[in-house]
Structure 1
Amino acid sequence: MVVAFASSVFAPAIPQVMKIYGITKEVGTLGVSLYVFGFAFGPLAFGPFSEFQGRYVPLVVAMFGFTIFSFATAVSKDVQSLFILRFFTGFFGSGPLTLSGPLFRDMFSQRQLGVPIVMFCLMAFIGPLVAPFVGGFIVMNPSLGWRWTAYIPGILGAALTVPVALVLDETYAPVILAHKAGRLRRETGDWSIHAEHEEASFHLRDVFREYLTRPFTMLVWDPIVLFMSLFGAFVYGLLYLFLTAYPIIFQHIHGMNLGVGGLPYLGIIVGQLLGTVAIAATQPWIERKAEQTGGQIMPEWRLPIAIPGAAAFSGGLFWLGWSGYKPTTHWVVPTLSGLLTGFGLLTMFLPSLAYLVEAREKKNASAVAAHTFLRSGAGGAFPLFATYMFDELGVEWACTLLGCLGALLIPIPVLLYVFGARIREKSRLSG
C-alpha cells in the first residue's frame, strides 16, 4: 500500500512544483507518470531475479531502494533530479508489487490463495486513492509543502523494510531446497549432494535469454498472458487517469480545494470494498466445484466475477461523465459513480492477476512481471494525454469514450472462462 500510495501522493503537489520550477502541467505530470513507468521496468528485473535467487533478497533490496530514493526525492534540488529520482523510486517500489503474488503462491495452498490476493489488490488500489486527499492537505499546509509528499513514503518505507528484513524467511521452494542441500554438504562432508536448482545455468547470457526476455516472450506468444495483461492494463490506466479527471470535475467544475477535492475518491474506495465482498461471495461456489474435482481448483473459476465487474466499470464511467460535466449537478452524484467504477476496478484487476498466478504456476513471477509491465505502461501513459482529452472532448464525451472502450473488454473473461483450459493445454509456455 505504501508503494501505491507514493505513486499518486505527488499529484496534488504538481501545481506547487509547476510554480516553483516554471514548468507546464504536462511536464509536472511526469512526476506521476515516470514513477509508474518505473513500475513497468522494475518487474523485468525483480520478477525473473526472484525465480533463481528466491523472494527474500530481491524483496529486501527493492524495499531498501524504495526508501532511499524516496528520501532522495524529498531533498532533490532541481526538476530534472526530481523526475529521475521519482522514476527510480517507482522502479524499486515495483519489487513488492511484483513479488507479492508469487510470494503468496509460495506460502498458501490453492484454496487459501484467494484471501491474500484479494487483500493485496485492495491495498494496491486503495493506496493511490487515499493519497490525493492526503497529499492535498499536506501541500495546503504551509509548514509542510510538496517535499513531504516524498518524506512520508520514505518514513513508511523504512518502518516496513526493517521488520521485513529481520523476520521474513525465504519462501521459494527451489531456493529453500538449494539452501538445505548446502547445509547438508557442510554437515556431512558429502559434496555430491545438490539440489536441482543449483544445477541451473546463471551465466549472464543465459539469464538474459531465459529470464529478462521471458516476460516479453509470454506477452507475444501466450494469449492468456496477453489478454489478461491488456484487461488489467486498461483498469490500471484508468485508475491513474482519475488523478486528472477527478480534479477537473471536483476542483475546477465544483470549486473544491486540493484537500476536499480529493475526498470524492472515497466513493471508489467504497466500491472496491463492495467488490471485495462480491469476490468473497464467490468462494463457496469455488469450493463446491473443487469438491467435484477432488480438491483441484481450475484457474478459470476466478474469472466469472470479472464479467459483471467489467460491465459495472463501463457503466460507472458513463455515470461519471454525464453527471460531472456541469456544476449545477450536485457533487454527490458523480461521487456515487465511484461505487460502480470501484467495484469494477477490483473485480476486473484481481481475476486478471489471480488467473495468471494459477494458470502459469511454474512461471508465475514472469507472468506477473509481464502483467505489471503492460499495466504500468498504461498507468504512466494515461495521465499524460488525459488533460488534452478532457479539454478537447469535455468531461462527458471523454468518459463516454472510455466507457465504450471498457465495454469492449467484457468478452475477455467470458472467452477465457470457456476456452482458457484448452488454451493452457496447448500453450508451449504453460509450464
Structure 2
Amino acid sequence: MPQVALRLLAHKIQSPQEKEALQALTVLEACMNNCGKRFHSEATKFRFLNELIKILTPKYFGAWTPQKVKDRVTEVLYGWTLWLKEEPKIQEAYSMLKKQGIVKKDPKLPETLIMAPPPQRTTDSIFDQEDKDKLLARLLKSARPEDLEMANRIIKNTIKEEQEKEEKVLKRESTLKEVESSTKQLRELLGQNTALYERCDRLRPTLFRLASDTMDDDVALAQILAANDELTVAVNAYKEQVGRMQCNGRRERSRSEEDALGKNNGRPHFGHFFFSLFVYQILTFALALICSSVAQKQPNEMFGDTLRSIFVPMETIKSSQLEPIVLHDQCGIHVSLHFAKDSAPGHPGVAVVVISTVNTSALEVKDFLFQAAVPKTMLVKLQPASGTHLPPYNPLLAPPAISQVLLLTNPQKCKVRVRYKLTLTHGDQQLNKTGDINSFPDWTALVGH
C-alpha cells in the first residue's frame, strides 16, 4: 500500500545517518517515476510533504540533518513542482519554504532528476472479458472457416490462461503451507535450544559456588575451572549464533552470572592460580571497579569546589562549528558529543560538552546512564541527564533526545582524554559499552578562545 511505503520511506529519510537518508530519497524518486498515480496522490498529500518539510525546518530536524540530505530534499521538492504542476499542494509547500527563507533559491537540477512519470501500463489484451465473450459468440455463429479457427484460438487461449491461474493458485497455497510448517518446526527447535541454553546458564553460578568451596583440593578445582571454560564457550557460541549480541558487539554478562557475583561477597583464595576464562572474568570485573574508584578519588582539589558550584542550563548553550564525536551508532541508537561555542558563563577555563542520545529504532530505550572519568590533571562534572527513557521512534513526530551537559577543567591545558561508560536497555537487550575518547579538539578551541 502506498501509505505504508511512504511512512517507511519518511522514517528512513529522517534517519540521522546520511547514507541511509540519501538512499531512501533515491528510492522515493524511483517510486514516483514508476508506481503510478495512486502513489503520486499519496506522496503529494500534506501528511507526507510535512515529513519532508521537517527535515529542512530548524524547529524540527533541520538543526542536525546533514546538509547533503537537506539539499537533496530541496531538489526533490523543486523537481516535483516542475513536472507535477497539476498538484497544488506541492506548489504551496515549496512556496511556503521560500517565503520563510528556508529555501533561498531554486536548486540547479541535473537532467536525470527531472523525469516525467512513465505512461500507465496497458492491459495484456485489447479486449475486456465482456468484449471477448461477445466476439466469441459471434464467431461461433459464423459459417466462415477463418472465423471458426479464430474462435478456436480464443477458446484455447482462455483455457490456457485459466490453467496458468490455477497453477499459480496451487503454487501459492503450497508455498504458504510449506512456510507455515517450516516456521512451526523452527520455532519448536528454537524453543528446545533456548531451554538447553537456560539450563547451561543456570549451572554457571553453581560452578562458581563449587569453586569457592573447593579451596583445599587443587585437582578438583582444576576440573571445575575446565568445566566452566567449556560451558562458557558453549554459551557464548549459542549467543553469537542466535544474534543475541548483535547490538552490543561483545559478550554481555548473563543474569545468573551477575547474581553469582552479587551473592559471593568474599574473594576465593586458590592454592594454585589457574588462569582460565572463569578467573579472567572475575578479575576483569574487579579491576573495572578498582579503576573506577581510583578515577573518582583523584579530583583536582584546586578546581573541585569551583566546578561543583557551576551549573549550565541546556537552553543557554550554543553549538560550535567543531565536528561532533560519535560514541555509538548502532541499531537505531545514536550517541554523540557536541561542543559548545563558549565556555561556562563566568568561568573561561571550563569547557562545555553536550552528550546527545537519539532513538530512531522501533524499540524503546530505558535505564540510560553515562559515566565519565579523566586523568588526575583534569576534572569532570556531569550534570543530571534530561531523562533516562526514550520512546520508540514515531515518523509523525520529531525524535526525542536525552541531553546531558558535561563540564571539563584542564588547568595544565594537556591533551584531553576521557574514559566513558555507557549503559542502557534497548528493548530487552542490555547495552554496556566502555571506551576512551582521544579525539577531542584542542583545548583553546573547546573553551572558545
TM (normalized to structure 2)? 0.22
More strand by share: 2
Which of structures 1 and 2 has the larger relative contact order (alpha carbons within 8 angstroms, sep 6+)? 1
TM-score by length of 1: 0.22
Query: Hey, which of these two has a bigger chunk of helix by percent?
Result: 1
